[in-house]
Amino acid sequence: MRLTLPNPGLEDRILSHAQLEKLELEEAGERPKWDNKAQYMLTCVGFCVGLGNVWRFPYLCQSHGGGAFMIPFLILLVLEGIPLLHLEFAIGQRLRKSSVGVWRTVSPYMVGVGIASMFVSLLVSLYYNTIIAWVMWYFFNSFQEPLPWSQCPLNENRTGLVSDCARSSPVDYFWYRKTLNVTPAIDETGGLQWWMVLCLIAAWGVLYVCCIRGIETTGKAVYVTSTLPYLVLTIFLIRGLTLKGSVDGIKFLFMPDLAELANPTTWLDAGAQVFYSFSLAFGGLISFSSYNSVHNNCEQDAVIISIINAFTSIFAATVIYTIIGFRATKRFDDCLGGNILTLLNTFDLPETNITVHNYDQVLRDLNATHPNIIQDLNLPTCNLNTFLSEGVEGTGLAFIVFTEAITKMPLSPLWAVLFFIMLFCLGLSSMFGNIEGVLVPLQDLGVFPKSWPKEAISGVTCLVCCCLGLIFVQGSGDYWLALFDSFAGSIPLLIVAFCEMVGVVYIYGVDRFNEDLVFMIGHKPNIFWQATWRVISPLVMLVIFLFYFVTTISKELFYIAWDPESEKFPTLEKKPYPSWIYVIIFILAGIPSLSVPGAAIFMAIRKWRDKHLDSSSPPKKKMSVN
């Protein structure tokens, strides 16, 4: 398809190949550069590999047919993830600007795409750093034995345990009461929780130190933040495999259920996971690759980073499920042990009569002889698969399920410290990309005066974000975070990614793009890239976007709340959102999405007005075009 939309003035806005070559040789550009290739690769890997690889992918894998989920995941990785990644790397390397600069160069009407990326990066940074603050809180609390989430605290009279804790569990209590101090509904703000404010300040402080001079400091920090998670995952894998029940966990995770492949939700979830996991459309990747040398082989980089990302997802899933298998086996053993004890006590049988092996047989015999007594006992049924499928995702996995598993391992504080350092590094390296996607567009848009040094710009941005992030450290902060996560970080990104592909292929021109790639890496991209860029990837993005849009519009919106007063406590209660939340949702999802057409309309009006002014004023000697 040789369809290219008219794009006047493109040649004037971009540097020609000759100019790029000269820039490369003279090194006369003001743009910062990577110290070496390793820094660039580690930064991109760090940005792509984030918390989602650890706590979203394992859940999706297990709930969509285990090993069978690999098939849609890998297919969509190749058809959607790698082409988009290559596109962003190449366009950033070629036009050598941030996301706003790149799209403004491609066409002034496309500046909205860059602005949308910036808004999304900003909204995501706000809540993502709050998650890092939570991780830091748990990290700070891991330096004690016994761990504070391993036992319930006593109530005031010291007669028993605190009632909320006794009814749920120590880990739940520590998460919902001691960490979040969560209110029962999103309407009740609950005030700022001072300990979380301190942790939030710590999180933004650490981020500021690492981003204070842009990639000059970030590039040094990634040597630690991008490599440490792999080390910790390996340690956990070795430790996990020595625990009882770990292999059950891995078998449960990877047991293929090919029937799930017929379910369209599986494919859509796989597509969404690939897309969000690669941190595409945030603008950070475009920025990072703009600091590269012009002849850097971006094709190779895209393929390598995609493979690393997929491998990390699978590796992390394995590690997580060894520990979940251990926890489920522990729970199963405790459940069975409790039932056996109850039976022994009720019937006064010697201890050796009922063991784990003959439990079922004995229960049947006793049920035949004394059915009434057995019924009165209300013995819970112990099923290992039920415990294994209690697998959760998101913060529930990290802060409830995994922390509980850690308390059951010997040397718990050590494992807790290692686990939370790993989560911290994963989150921080992703934050570098998010902040890059906010800082550099702000500079390109001219929001800050040019005389300000880099340190001041990053300082002001971090300070403003920290203050805005105070929403999430209130009592109702967790509900706000879930809201932001569902709406700010989902639909606008899909729109931006679709517009990016359309922009490069049809507005910038795929022929010009191919020539640029020949100049940069020495050979024309082969038929695979051509097919995916022009047809396949945009189609996949469109399908995922429509699906998301339709499900979001049609479903009833509710959130899950921790309400000790509710009847179903300790199960979380589904509550509908109050009506004013819909305004907030519109702001979160609508403003970034609408800035794409909005900016285009604004630029069109400005151009029409300029033309009008030119034609109405007396004709003067034409100056050279700006």
d(CA 461, CA 2): 43
Closest CA to 457 of 447, 468, 466: 447
Closest CA to 474 of 200, 246, 192, 284: 192
* Residue 271, Cβ density class (10 Å: 0-12 exposed, 13-18 middle, ≥19 buried): buried
Which residue, chain included where needed, has tokens 């979830």? 269
The stretches of 32-156 forming alpha helices (DSSP H) are 37-48, 51-55, 57-63, 70-76, 82-95, 99-106, 111-140
Nearer to another protein, 376 or 511 (CB): 376
Q: Is 303 annotated as a binding residue?
A: no
d(CA 269, CA 59): 11
Q: Is 309 annotated as a binding residue?
A: yes
Which residue, chain included where needed, has tokens 């047809």? 535
Determine contact, residues 170/150, Cβ cutoff 8 Å: yes
Nearer to another protein, 30 or 567 (CB): 30
Nearer to another protein, 244 or 607 (CB): 244
C-alpha torsion angle, residues 581, 584, 585, 588 (rounded to 10): -160
Which residue, chain included where needed, has tokens 């009592």? 475
**Sequence-separated (6 or more) residues with CB below 8 Å from residue 287:** 92, 98, 99, 436, 437, 440
Residues that bind another protein (CB under 8 A): 27-28, 136-137, 139-141, 143-144, 153-154, 158, 160, 195, 198-199, 201-202, 205-206, 208-209, 212-213, 217, 337, 341, 344-345, 348-352, 453, 455
Minimum gap (Å) between residue 482 Cβ and another protein:
25
Tokens in use for 217?
């400091």
Phi, psi of 474 (to 5 degrees): -80, 180
The stretches of 193-261 forming alpha helices (DSSP H) are 194-211, 215-225, 228-241, 246-254
Nearer to another protein, 153 or 371 (CB): 153
Q: Is 426 annotated as a binding residue?
A: yes
Minimum gap (Å) between residue 341 Cβ and another protein:
8
Nearer to another protein, 453 or 597 (CB): 453
Determine contact, residues 525/299, Cβ cutoff 8 Å: yes
Q: Is 423 annotated as a binding residue?
A: no
d(CA 330, CA 324): 10
Give me the DSSP letters along 473-501: GBTTHHHHHHHHHHHTTSHHHHHHHHHHH
d(CA 136, CA 431): 14
Nearer to another protein, 141 or 593 (CB): 141
* Residue 609, Cβ density class (10 Å: 0-12 exposed, 13-18 middle, ≥19 buried): exposed
d(CA 429, CA 47): 6
Nearer to another protein, 12 or 348 (CB): 348
Q: Is 53 annotated as a binding residue?
A: yes
Minimum gap (Å) between residue 69 Cβ and another protein:
38
Nearer to another protein, 348 or 556 (CB): 348
Minimum gap (Å) between residue 194 Cβ and another protein:
11
Nearer to another protein, 451 or 526 (CB): 451
Q: Is 289 annotated as a binding residue?
A: no
Q: Is 353 annotated as a binding residue?
A: no
Minimum gap (Å) between residue 603 Cβ and another protein:
34
Nearer to another protein, 220 or 364 (CB): 220
**In 91-125, which positions are buried (b, 16+ CB within 10 angstroms) versus exposed (e)?**
bbbbbbbbbbbbbbbbbbbbbbbbbbbbbbbbbbb
Nearer to another protein, 207 or 561 (CB): 207
**Sequence-separated (6 or more) residues with CB below 8 Å from residue 255:** 66, 67
Binding site: which residues?
A: 46, 49, 53, 277, 309, 426, 430
Binding site for Na(+): which residues?
A: 46, 49, 53, 277, 309, 426, 430
